[in-house]
């Protein structure tokens, strides 16, 4: 009797797995691996808002049109817990257990680098709507794409904008927090500064999450024109507070991602003003979208309505990742579930995507150091002015004049 029960159980499992292999469904299973908890949960949840908004908009429009029929999308989340190994495990679970058709990728570069080999192994396409480290693209993963250009592409533009200000900055101290993205940001700042003739007086990579006041004291003695820092939201807030506490106002304070987050202005108030940052999209950008949202303001309004939080470029990039999949799927007419052969075809289709969206142009590089990163966008230099994000460069994109040199902290 006991043996019969065991046999029945085995038979049930075998039957269940065979029926799964031949499953039929009328919706796309979209896996999402991102940082929903842990140190990077702030950014992870920004990507989540972007992915959710895309899924909601697609489903509202009826779904993705494949051969005259529309298929809705369903997101399957798996938390990377801000930990690369957990991210890799999360991706593996989504692929092997949930049998997702494709994946929307993590917020951070560190987790993306850990997830990329997993999607490569199982041949499941992934687009990250956030990761910016050039290291991801240098490894030339066939199945990994990204909608945000690498930080050496965007960060360098911000330095070039600063170099063009008057009086021209001559010296800089550059720091980066010790994580994949922040380190790459600092290195991008350093490389661009040297090319622009700005002397780098000090360059350091520091442990993440540290109180950097002593380091800023050392910078104060060097009295550089530019203080540039690669880090994440909380670190940026701490850095501005440190500068304020030691009463050092450089001519320009440059950061990157995080400056455009509403929390930066909310936490620092007047002290957030005049901080420069790099971005690839703002809510006021003049874009012309063909799919889901007609331009940046329309997207920003939809995002505000859905989450009551202003959208930044990471959220927009995450929604654009969904759009890129949409375009490629429609092109190859891949109905769900997508077979391995069709997924290989999907990669080819993604490589040919060239589409104008609310986020700007999405076009993935197919060779070189930016392999599979989106190179269709123009990097923007932004500055916080009166608590709002204003584009101050490059020239043709500028919507406001850069406020430079910075006003002393005590004169604000």
Partner 1 sequence: MELLPQALMDGIMLGAIYIIIAIGFSLVYGVMHVIDFAVGEWIMLGAFAGFYLTEWTHVEPMLLLPGVFVVFAAAGYLFQPLIHRVLSGHRGNPLLMGLVFTFGLGLMFRGLAQTFFGFYSHSIPSRFSNGSFFLQGGGFSTTVSSVRLAGLVYALAITGILHYLLKHTDFGLGVRALAQNRDAAGLMGVDNKRTSAFVYGIYVGISAMTGVLIGMILSLSAKMGPDFTIFAFFVVVLAGMGYLAGVPAAAFLLGIIQSFFLIYLDPGYTLLAVFAILYTILLVSPRGLFGKGV
Residue 332 in the binding site for partner 1 (CB under 8 A): no
Please list every residue from 305 through 324 that binds partner 1, using CB under 8 A: none
Shortest reach from residue 384's CB to partner 1, in Å: 15
Q: What is d(CA 373, CA 363) in angstroms, rounded to the nearest whole number? A: 8
Residue from the set 220, 361, 363, 388 that interacts with partner 1 by CB under 8 A: 220
Q: Single out the residue of 175, 259, 176 nearest to residue 218, CA to CA.
A: 175
Nearer to partner 1, 45 or 381 (CB): 45
Q: Among residues 367 and 410, whose Cβ is nearest to partner 1?
A: 410
Q: Which residues contact 244 (CB under 8 A, 6 or more apart)?
A: 271, 409
- Under the binding rule (CB under 8 A), the answer on residue 267 touching partner 1 is yes
In the complex, what is the shortest distance from the CB of residue 258 to partner 1, in angstroms, rounded to a whole number?
A: 9
- Sequence-distant (6+) residues with CB within 8 A of 139 are 113, 116
Considering only residues 269-288, where is the footprint of partner 1 by CB under 8 A?
269
- Residues 145-184 interacting with partner 1 (rule: CB under 8 A): 175, 178
Distances in Å between the alpha carbon of 157 and those of 176, 389, 395? 17, 17, 11
Rounded distance, CA 213 to CA 355, Å?
Answer: 45
Which of 276, 106, 246 has the alpha carbon at shortest distance from 185? 276
Among 289, 282, 260, residue whose Cα is nearest residue 361? 289
Which residue stretch of 38-46, 152-160, 192-200, 349-357 sits at the interface with partner 1 (rule: CB under 8 A)? 38-46
State in angstroms the smallest separation of the CB of 80 from partner 1.
Answer: 14
Please name which of 274, 280, 276, 194 lies closest in space to residue 230, comparing C-alpha atoms: 276
Candidates 267-275, 300-308, 314-322, 400-408 — which segment interacts with partner 1 by CB under 8 A? 267-275
From residue 324, how far is each of 126, 364, 369 by CA, in Å?
A: 11, 10, 21
Residue 344, interface with partner 1 (CB under 8 A)?
no
Does 201 help bind partner 1 (rule: CB under 8 A)?
A: no
Binding residues for partner 1, per CB under 8 A? Answer: 37-39, 41-42, 44-45, 175, 178, 204-207, 209-215, 217-218, 220-221, 233-234, 237-238, 241, 244-247, 261-263, 266-269, 409-410
């Amino acid at each position: 009797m006991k043996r019969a029960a065991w046999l029945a159980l085995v038979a049930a499992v075998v039957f269940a797995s065979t029926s799964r292999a031949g499953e039929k469904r009328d919706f796309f299973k979209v896996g999402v691996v991102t940082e929903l908890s842990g140190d990077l949960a702030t950014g992870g949840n920004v990507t989540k808002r972007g992915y959710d908004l895309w899924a909601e908009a697609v489903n509202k429009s009826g779904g993705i049109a494949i051969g005259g029929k529309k298929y809705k999308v369903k997101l399957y989340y798996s938390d990377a817990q801000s930990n690369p190994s957990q991210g890799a495990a999360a991706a593996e679970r989504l692929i092997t257990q949930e049998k997702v058709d494709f994946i929307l990728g993590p917020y951070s570069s560190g987790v993306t680098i850990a997830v990329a080999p997993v999607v490569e192994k199982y041949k499941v396409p992934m687009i990250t709507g956030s990761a910016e480290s050039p290291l991801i693209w240098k490894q030339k993963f066939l199945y990994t794409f990204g909608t945000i250009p690498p930080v050496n592409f965007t960060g360098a533009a911000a330095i070039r904008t600063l170099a063009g200000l008057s009086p021209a900055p001559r010296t800089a101290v550059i720091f980066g927090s010790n994580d994949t993205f922040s380190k790459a940001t600092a290195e991008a700042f350093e490389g661009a500064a040297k090319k622009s003739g700005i002397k780098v007086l000090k360059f350091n990579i520091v442990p993440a999450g540290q109180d950097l006041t002593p380091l800023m004291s050392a910078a104060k003695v060097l009295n550089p024109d530019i203080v540039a820092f690669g880090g994440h939201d909380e670190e940026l807030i701490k850095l501005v507070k440190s500068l304020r506490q030691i009463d050092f106002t450089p001519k320009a304070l440059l950061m990157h991602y995080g400056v455009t987050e509403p929390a930066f202005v909310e936490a620092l108030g007047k002290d957030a003003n005049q901080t420069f940052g790099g971005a690839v999209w703002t809510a006021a950008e003049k874009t012309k979208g063909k799919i889901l949202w007609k331009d940046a303001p329309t997207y920003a309004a939809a995002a505000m309505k859905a989450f009551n939080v202003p959208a930044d470029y990471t959220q927009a990039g995450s929604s654009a990742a969904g759009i890129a999949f949409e375009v490629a799927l429609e092109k190859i007419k891949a109905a769900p579930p997508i077979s391995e052969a069709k997924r290989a075809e999907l990669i080819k289709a993604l490589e040919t995507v060239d589409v104008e969206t609310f986020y700007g142009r999405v076009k993935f590089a197919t060779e070189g150091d930016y392999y599979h990163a989106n190179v269709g966008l123009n990097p923007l230099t932004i500055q916080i002015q009166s608590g709002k994000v204003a584009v101050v460069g490059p020239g043709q994109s500028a919507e406001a004049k850069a406020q430079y040199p910075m006003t002393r902290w005590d004169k604000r």
